[in-house]
Amino acid sequence: MTSATTDLDSTAGSVPATYSPDAAFIASANADGALYERAASDQLGFWADQARRLQWDQPWTQVLDWSDAPVAKWFIDGKLNVAYNCVDRHVIDGHGEQVAIHWEGEPGDSRDITYSELLAEVSRAANYLTELGMRAGDRVAIYMPMVPEAIVSMLACARLGLTHSVVFAGFSPTALRQRVDDAEARLVITTDGQWRRGAAAPLKAAVDEALDGAPSSVEHVLVVRRTNIDVLWTEGRDLWWHDTVTDASPDHQAQGFDAEHPLFILYTSGTTGKPKGILHTTGGYLTQASYTHHNVFDHKAGHDVYWCTADIGWVTGHSYIVYGPLSNRATQVVYEGTPNSPDEHRHFEIIEKYGVTIYYTAPTLVRTFMKWGRQIPDAHNLSSLRLLGSVGEPINPEAWRWYRDVIGGNRTPIVDTWWQTETGAIMISPLPGVTATKPGAAMAPLPGISAKIVDDEGTELDSGRSGLLVLDQPWPSMLRGIWNDMDRFRETYWDRFAAAGWYFAGDGAKLDTDGDLWILGRVDDVMNVSGHRISTAEVESALVGHAGVAEAAVVGASDDTTGQAIVAFVILTADTAASGRLQVARNSADNTGAALIAELKAEVSREISPIARPREIHIVPELPKTRSGKIMRRLLRDVAEGRELGDTSTLVDPKVFETIARG
């Protein structure tokens, strides 16, 4: 079928090759083509315009100082308060009664929070954190499920100039401890427990476990009661939110902080076992988070009901649940649970209940919906939706079309947004009222952003050729470094194209013959499982942490639902191999052999997080290595994906695969 909004490609039968916005969308869109022209003619002037969308306590004297590259300074001498921009100013402007958050708890409880109420909550938390002795520059770890207090905590930190480090509540005590130690957090904010598929699971217990043993920098643990689950209590250290924050004064005067004041640290996986604390600052970050949320999602304050399904434990939650939407006075849905709790209708019920107009999620969830079947969304009235977004991994054209047809009623534009924890905000994406989109393509850098696709030598590639994605101009929300490790910051992102001064993103990309940009996925040893970034080295180190494992190699193999799945190859220690457990493990016929493999999978879940649990573990006698001892993951990927082996000529022992296959 055809519609006014689809452009048929004569060579592809009835499948539209591109999807143009319809006239009504174009007419009322926040962004038009002029935005590209303005940015191209005066990039710094353009970013200054965007920064003026915020309220500054002191104006900047210079837009960008790049003299200390690769550490940028944006909006020099400017001062602003992030929480004031996200909350107070909307109340002062007369929108105190507007709902900021429609919060939907997993067990079915819900709570609407207006901007006035949010201001009171954030002010109480800010007053109490001040009373606790927290001072601007101190670090606070936030280890919480998707409860309103998590957002309140982030905003209270921002308000006081405390640098928050949100740690995903699915991470293990070990992972939490590593992050708390690296940032030297003085305070951890958590909940007693969290709801997961109808059951209360402990969370504070994980904080206790993390802080047990060696002394840490943590002075207090502030605990929100969510599930009423039993908790152990350390007198003097532990504090209930409802005994402290709740009683604090709801009035608090925000003060402006320097544009380069550290706003948050967010740990993400790199190519080694040690996570990187990505540092973001204040003025540039908020400018770009706000600008992109306004233009990419075409957000209309007071009209739209926006829902980003991410968790605040990831950068998407920081930029597109907290800072971007709230700075733009959004009314948004925040949902605590999983999409199939109590059943697969949950997201669609929420869309109907609140009349969601903008829905932003990950391709893995779209593919999960596809698997569940269209009868589920079809049972709901989703006509309120007017824009859909995708983030976290490349979206395959089939999933893109299904998303648009089934969820979007073949009506809504889709914005496929490419960015990273490091970029802080969206970099490459269609503009929904401008771009004729192609299923699967991120299309073009946003106005103000510049990217190139180059070969290993940095030569720009012609259309059709795959290469490396680089960002060749600084941008306001760029990372300012890796916490405690500026050498690694330079090495990881800047050394590759040091002469040109470009940022190397770690992704492959290509331009098609129309000049439209396609992201091809990571080119380094970073996996992407359901949009979560996990390093092969991290999983390998968890595996070799098990006494029975001598060596491990991990690869990401393509998976229909999760994009990539983790496949591990392990060599057992001689003792374990001799103990007969290997025989047991190999003997899958009676299934008893699964025991050791199950134990290893559990070990990875425990050490890192359930999201890092391997889909498959193969016990093998040897691993394919080059003469320099480097494991050839490319070949293991071939094995994991059942492909014919690529070039094995550089292997020390090309026969290794016979034994791997037998293993």
Chain contacts with ligand WT7 (rule: CB under 6 A): 268, 314-316, 391-394, 416-421, 442, 505-507, 519, 521-522, 528, 531, 533
Question: Minimum distance from CB of 339 to ligand WT7 (Å)?
Answer: 17
> Whose Cβ is closer to ligand WT7: residue 281's or residue 530's?
530
User: Are the C-beta atoms of residues 50 and 288 closer than 8 Å to each other?
Assistant: yes
Tell me how far apart the alpha carbons of residues 371 and 394 are, in angstroms, rounded to a whole number: 18
Tell me how far apart the alpha carbons of residues 233 and 658 are, in angstroms, rounded to a whole number: 55
Question: Minimum distance from CB of 532 to ligand WT7 (Å)?
Answer: 7
Q: Can you say whether the dihedral through the CA atoms of 451, 456, 460, 464 is positive or negative? A: negative
Helices (H), 135-193: 148-160, 173-183
| 619, 620, 624, 629 alpha-carbon torsion, rounded to 10° | 80
Question: Minimum distance from CB of 520 to ligand WT7 (Å)?
Answer: 8
Residue 205, both tokens: 């217990």
> Whose Cβ is closer to ligand WT7: residue 123's or residue 361's?
361
Tell me how far apart the alpha carbons of residues 73 and 65 are, in angstroms, rounded to a whole number: 5
Question: Minimum distance from CB of 130 to ligand WT7 (Å)?
Answer: 32
Tell me how far apart the alpha carbons of residues 55 and 320 are, in angstroms, rounded to a whole number: 19
Residue 30, both tokens: 């926040």
> Whose Cβ is closer to ligand WT7: residue 150's or residue 468's?
468
Question: Minimum distance from CB of 429 to ligand WT7 (Å)?
Answer: 8
> Whose Cβ is closer to ligand WT7: residue 358's or residue 549's?
358
Residue 409, both tokens: 């009623």
Question: Minimum distance from CB of 88 to ligand WT7 (Å)?
Answer: 28
State which amino acid sits at residue 14.
S
User: Are the C-beta atoms of residues 550 and 608 closer than 8 Å to each other?
Assistant: no
Question: Minimum distance from CB of 603 to ligand WT7 (Å)?
Answer: 23
> Whose Cβ is closer to ligand WT7: residue 166's or residue 656's?
166
Q: What are phi and psi of 203, to 5 degrees?
A: -125, -45
Question: Minimum distance from CB of 289 to ligand WT7 (Å)?
Answer: 12
**Which residues share a beta bridge with 111?**
103
> Whose Cβ is closer to ligand WT7: residue 157's or residue 414's?
414
| Angle in degrees, CA 434, 511, 528, rounded to 5 | 95
Cis preceding-peptide flag for 202 (omega within 30 of 0): no
Residue 331 to residues 113, 115, 327, 646, Cα–Cα distance (Å):
10, 9, 11, 51
* DSSP, residue by residue, 208-247: HHHHSSS--S--EEEEE-SS-------TTTEEEHHHHGGG
> Whose Cβ is closer to ligand WT7: residue 129's or residue 399's?
399
> Whose Cβ is closer to ligand WT7: residue 337's or residue 563's?
563
Rg of the chain, C-alpha, whole Å:
25
> Whose Cβ is closer to ligand WT7: residue 142's or residue 597's?
142
Question: Minimum distance from CB of 421 to ligand WT7 (Å)?
Answer: 3
Question: Minimum distance from CB of 623 to ligand WT7 (Å)?
Answer: 26
Q: State the greatest distance between any 2 C-alpha atoms of the chain, in Å, as a whole number.
A: 74
> Whose Cβ is closer to ligand WT7: residue 268's or residue 477's?
268
Residue 17, both tokens: 């090759």
